[in-house]
Structure 1
Amino acid sequence: MDPQNQEQQQDQPSSGNSSVPPLEDVAAIAEQLKGHGFFDNEISMPLSPRNETPPEPFLKRTIQEDDTDDYYLGRLPKEAYASSPKRTKFYNFFDDPKGENPIIISDTDNDDGDQRMEITENQMPLAFDINAYDINNESDDDNNDDETRRRELIEAQRREAERRELIEGQRREAERRELIEGQRREAQRRELIRRQNMRERQYIKETAKRYAAHIHRVPENKDGDHNVAIVIDDGSPSTPFSEAIKAIQERVEKNRKKGTVDESLIWVPKRNGEDFVNRRFLVPSLEDMSLKVLAEHADAVVSLDGVSDELKLRLSNLLCDSRRMNGHVLELLLRGNPKVIRLKDCSWLTEEEFTKYFGTLNPSGIEVLHLNQCGRVVAEHTLLATVAKSPKCLSKLISLSLTGACRLFDNGLQLLLSSATALRSINLSQCSLLTFSGLNILADSLGSILKELYLDDCILINATLALPALKRLEQLDVLSLAGLPTVSDKFINSFIVARGHNIKELVLKDCVDLTDASIQVIANHCPGLQALDLMKLSKLTDLSIGYLTNSCQALRTLKLCRNPFSDEAIGAFLAVTGKSLEELSLNNIKKVGQHTALSLAKEAKNLHTLDLSWCRNLTDNEFGLIVDNCFSLRFLKLFGCSQVTDVFLKGHSNSELRIIGLKLCPLLQHMERPDPHRSALRYAPLLSQ
């Protein structure tokens, strides 16, 4: 080695490692620096060819305050100016003129914050040891980053734990609320059962007291109607009801003493069941089959000209029952301006269709217009566009039915009444927006000619406020107030005393506040009463049956349901009035038994419709006794009578009887159908104007 170069190497400070890498291995040095945490932007490796002339030596000088890195190194990358606690170092490698010793330029920070640039001469030998490089600051920064990441991880774990704890708390709260709600519902159910049991016990107690003490007086009238008589009879043994009761008691006592069963209560099947199948599956008539085919292919019908009103009505009912009625069939039914229009169900109609089909009619010739279940179709503006275009345009209309018209107000009713000046019957059942003001309008327009009025379930009509208007209906013979909660004993007494002499049919179903006092007034002041509906009046007792037995012996229709009447009282009533009865309903009268069956078998020879649904005390013996002796009986309803067996079904002798309500029995085919030959009025002939 050259002695001069050896002296120069001795003058250079040692870096701690005597091995010096060659200049050609600069790439290897860069890879080693990357392995110790240095990035590419911290290392500059110019790969330009070796300078032919040696560069001028750098002079050691102190960096002034206004000096910048750009002055010595050029502009650094953006990462060098980023605010980071990590110190940035910039390395540059140059070859000396001989290609042996590189020059190292380093940017260092001293403790007091002043930056200085130290440049060694190119004669200084390179003693570079990567492992000896001071990376404590970088290690500290890495440790800080690790600590930050650890804290962030701990914070994320804490938040996750809080979220899971919140979800678990919400779940436990939902379970607690569900448990509380279940306990509340269970408590309500138990309370309902307790109250029901209390009512049943109270009913049994009251019934026991009534029969034990033989009470013959009407309960106290809470409304203060002292004009209502409170005695069922005058104690004379000659009253029809008392005689019938006495006869029943004597018969029971006689059989008890003999220890035998009354022979009149024994039924022997008349048939052996050989023709039961033929009677059960009767071949339909050609007319019925034809109407069924027409109903199934109604869209293909092009004309109904020449078809009678009876067949049109039956076809219309078939289509309504099967939900096949549409605008095409309605147009055929309305073609030719018919006098009678009866639609069982208009719920499928829209306002546009109603205006379209009925707007072309000539209303002056219509005598009967029944648009039942018309819903939202009938309103004031639709009436103005169709059947009530002008005053007195319905001058021949006798019977009008608009059941279920939930948009018919008092003004709309006034519009109709101004057009139908000869109206005799009007059915406004379920017109829930009518009030007593509408009845005042009705009384002003038709007070002297109206005969039939149906106000079932008109919940806004107050019976007390409507009483003066009802009293002005001088010719009224049919009144239906079913479902009106304001009907009371006081109302019945006031109206019946004023207009009861004309009443032939009275419907008081679901008027739950009525008592025996009202029935006594009806029996005493309605001599021509032919039909009475007392269904679901739980406050009535056997006294009501006694009043009807003594005074209403011309009754043709009586409907009872869920009334607490005894078997003896009903048997006595039938023994006196059974000959005139044509329709009888004893639906859900729990105590109906042998006395009722025997009276029906002996007296009800004109009875054609009988409802014994849910009468569980009757057996095949009683059913057979009734059916074989009531020769006119055509419809027998037995819903809920699971005790009926084939002994009765195959053994009775009435081949024309239709039993409704048994298992697998077709229902719609046996439903009551309106009589097309019946007059528009129930108790008067149709009077054309």
Structure 2
Amino acid sequence: MTILRSREIPSVSGKPRPKRQSSDIIQPSTPARKQEPSAPSLDRSSPPTNTFRRRRSPRLESLNGFTEKEVSILVCSNRKSNVGERFLSLRSGKKVANGIETSGSEIDSRKLDLVEETNIVSKELDNSGDDALVRSEEKGKSVMAEVNDVEMKCDEKPSSSVNRRKYTREEKAKGIQVENLSPPITTVGVEEMDIDNSIDIQNPPEGASLTKSSVNAQNQNGNASRNQQFRDFAERNASRFARFDVEMEEEEESSDKEEVELQVEDWPGPFSTAMKIMKDREENTILHDGVPFSSDIERSSSPIVWPPRRSDSFTSPPPRAPSLQELSMRVLVKNADAITSLDYVPDSLRVKLCQLLCDSRRMDVHFLDLLVRGSPTGICVPDCSWLTEEQFTECFKNCDTSNLMVLQLDQCGRCMPDYVLPSTLARSPKSLPMLSSLSLSGACRLSDVGLRALVSVAPAITSINLSQCSLLTSSTIDMLSDSLGLVLRELYLNECQSIDLKLILTALKKFEKLEVLSLVDLPSVRGRLLREFITARGQALKQLTLSNSVKLTDSSIKDISENCPNLRVLDLANVCKLTDCALGYLANGCQFLEKLIFCRNSFSDEAVAAFVETSGGSLVELSLNNVKKVGHNTALALAKFSEKLQILDVSWCRDMSDNALGYIVDSCSSLKVLKVFGCTQITDTFVLGHSNPNVEILGLKMDPFLNHLTKNHPDS
């Protein structure tokens, strides 16, 4: 729908036109679709001057019986007499007002003010709820020029419309068409307007067949077409934002079905028996002859009975005197710049000294020169972030690496790009003939090319740590499988985001002696892919780390328990989809687990207790960090069946009371480290009341525990 703007209309002849008065009338004509012979004029006093006429609009055939001439409906306002009076303007110069024909001499005194007509049309748009259209300056000029042309031709040359452009039925019916959402709307002249757009909805002229319902229907059709255009645009661009993984959806559906079946299944074996016993015990504790216990009776009949030491003996444990070796190491760390040689210092003490220097940020080039001097068998630097390329090149360009067996240069992204390796570690084909352990964690500038050059001079590598090497791709694993497929035993690929498990699955199957596999925080780890690898190489696996593998379900744990009988270490931290069924599979399949890491899993207290009762005899380290349902059942099982337990983490397990922790600490004589971070329910009753002098409690409130935390615990 086109709105006429109020502006000065330029003269056709180039001369300035006189300022229009408020009573001027603009008489647009209905656009003609094709040329036809003109019919006899209604005004018989003036014969027609042309032999062709425009085709009538079907809407005007019923207006006052005038079927021989095409008329234009305008909204006129007579300021002198009747405000809001409606007129029908004919091409012959006559007007029809309220069904009465008027002469052409009255037209000049009843012309329409363009500003007033614009306001009326704008009100019609507001009343009908139609959207406002955007117009450019060129469009306004085009509209005004055509209005001027229409006015002259209506007053002087009614037969001059023979040479005008033909308009199709679609152009007459639609008027303005929005072709696209982003380009501006095409300019349309006054002759292309539909005649319905010029009629006042509130006060239509007599004899007109247009109703408010038809206008609303047209508006709804326009809105529907506009909504359809938005919908088409959204469908065209949806593929750029939508992400759909068919394999993931199918795996999730299948896992959900399996979990539903497992909920009904009764697991055969000791685990199901222990679960049933504990559930029956809970029911008997809650109800006695159908009457619930009161809170006092429940506390008195609690399954955990732990007598703390007497209140008069509540004293802080005496501080442990440091050993002579620890005192010597502290002195060496403080005076590391004065050390002139490391000859005759065993490798174990070198490793501890390097660790202490890196922790205290006192590691420098001087001490690194001492490590690489001579023909060392091991170089272990846990933090090389301070080392530059020039310093690294200067230290290793003349180093004798023929006897080097262990090389650890973690966080070496700053000093080890690809182009420094040919002049340092890979300077000859036999520069690292005895290297068995290589750790380059955090080498963010090392690519596939650099690692290939390094592995080519070290054919005897049995352990390689490539964690956080972001530039390494799946082709690296293919290269390692071809070079080290028969000798490699340990592979760490933690946080290598560019490596896809689906692409390296074939290469992983080539590692015949692989015992340790770490896939921490790899988004491509899924149950189906893990099942294929476990089925092929699970018999030799002893350590499997799957932290943050959020797509794994109970079916994956079932595959591990069935195909990894020799598994000793299992890390399932932040695998949130696991249920109690997973513990049942582990209890029945993996009977020799020594280290088990849980964190933020949704296991129940009864399931953890049942697992400890059936398979907890060999546990040396157990982490239940943030397993919030752990309570007194787990405490009872740990105290009775975990004789070898040395490290226990119950951080954020706030259902563990003083009695439960005291019972665990006093019963587990081998326990050395207990982590209780976030356990705000613990009081001095437990801290000062337990009787195990060997245990070290970490995470107590206001306790400076950072002084005791080291990367490699001295007792571990």
The answer for the alignment partner of 1:38 in structure 2 is none
Q: Among residues 387, 394, 399, which one is paired with 2:432 in the alignment?
A: 394
- Supply the distance in 2 between the matched residues of 1:643 and 1:228 (Cα, whole angstroms): 38
* Secondary structure of residue in 2 paired with 1:578: helix
Q: Is the 8 A contact 2:404 2:432 kept in 1?
A: yes
1:514 and 2:548 correspond: no
Does 2:310 align with 1:266?
Answer: no
- Offset at 1:315? 1.4
1:632 aligns with 2:670: yes
Residue 250 (structure 2) pairs with residue 250 (structure 1) = no
User: 1:255 deviation in Å?
Assistant: 2.8
The alpha-carbon distance between structure 1 residues 469 and 230, as it changes in their structure 2 partners (threshold 3 A), is farther
Q: Is the 8 A contact 1:519 1:544 kept in 2?
A: yes
Provide the rounded CA distance (Å) in 1 between the counterparts of 2:416 and 2:439. Answer: 11
1:472 correspondence with 2:510 = yes
What whole-Å deviation, never above 9, does each CA across 1:307-350 have from its counterpart, x for those lacking one?
22222221111110010111111222222322011111111111
1:429 is aligned to 467
**Matching residue of 1:505:** 543
Q: Is the 8 A contact 1:542 1:566 kept in 2?
A: yes
Aligned mates of 1:395, 1:442 — CA distance in 2: 16
Q: CA deviation at 1:262?
A: 4.8
* SS of the residue 2:584 aligns to: helix
Query: Are the equivalent residues in 1 in contact too, given 2:259–2:554 (CA < 8 A)?
Result: no
Alignment of 1:137-536 (within 5 A): 221-222=251-252, 238-257=268-287, 259=293, 260=298, 261-262=300-301, 264-270=303-309, 272=311, 274=313, 276-279=315-318, 281-536=319-574
**Partners of 2:487 and 2:471 in 1: how far apart?**
25
Match of 2:621 in 1: 583
* Contact 1:373 1:402 (8 Å CA) reproduced: yes
Give CA-to-partner distance per residue, 1:490-544, whole Å, 9 cap, x none.
Answer: 1111111111111111101011111111111111111111111000011111111
Distance 1:356 1:666 in 2: 40
Q: Contact between 1:271 and 1:650, CA under 8 Å: does it hold in 2?
A: no
Q: What one-letter code is carried by the residue in structure 2 that aligns with 1:242?
A: S
1:553 partner amino acid: Q
Say which SS state the counterpart of residue 348 (structure 1) adopts. Answer: coil
Compute the TM-score of the two structures, normalised by the length of structure 1: 0.63
Q: How many residues align?
A: 459
Amino acid at match of 2:470: S
The residue number in structure 2 matching 1:563 is 601
Match of 2:640 in 1: 602
Question: Residues 415 and 342 from structure 1, CA distance in 2 versus in 1: closer, same or farther, beyond 3 angstroms?
Answer: same
Give the percent of matched residue pairs that are identical in Structure 1 and Structure 2: 49
Residues 554, 580 of structure 1: 8 Å contact kept:
yes
Indicate the residue corresponding to 1:618 in structure 2.
656
Q: Give the Cα separation in 1 of the matches to 2:598 and 2:488.
A: 28
Q: Which deviations, in whole Å up to 9, do the C-alpha atoms of 1:148-176 show, x marking residues without a partner?
A: xxxxxxxxxxxxxxxxxxxxxxxxxxxxx
Query: Which blocks of at least 5 consecutive residues in structure 2 are unaligned?
Result: 1-248
The Cα shift of 1:225 comes to: 9.1
Structure 2 CA distance for partners of 1:677 and 1:400, relative to 1, 3 Å: farther
CA distance in 1: counterparts of 2:468 and 2:401, whole angstroms: 25
Pick the structure with greater CA Rg. 1
Following superposition, the deviation at residue 676 of structure 1 comes to 9.0
Check the 8 A contact 2:375/2:402 in 1, yes or no: no
Greater displacement, 489-498 / 260-269: 260-269
Relative contact order higher in (CA < 8 Å, ≥ 6 apart): 1
- The CA distance in 2 between the partners of 1:456 and 1:231, in whole Å, is 34
Q: Give how far 1:231 is off.
A: 6.1
Q: Aligned partners of 1:374, 1:665: CA distance in 2, in Å?
A: 34
RMSD, matched Cα: 2.5
Deviates more, 1:296-305 or 1:411-420: 296-305
Q: Deviations over 1:219-244 (max 9, x none)?
A: 98348699999965995674121011
The whole-number CA distance in structure 1 between the counterparts of 2:263 and 2:464 is 38
Q: In structure 1, how many angstroms separate the alpha carbons of the residues matched to 2:701 and 2:390?
A: 43
Q: Which of 546, 551, 558 in structure 1 is aligned with 2:589?
A: 551
SS state at 1:545 partner? helix
- The two structures have a TM-score, normalised by structure 2, of 0.61
Q: Tell me if structure 1 keeps the 8 A contact 2:376–2:401.
A: no
Q: Give the SS at the match of 1:365.
A: coil
Q: Is the 8 A contact 2:413 2:446 kept in 1?
A: no
Shift of 1:644: 1.5
Change (3 A) 1:662 1:572: same
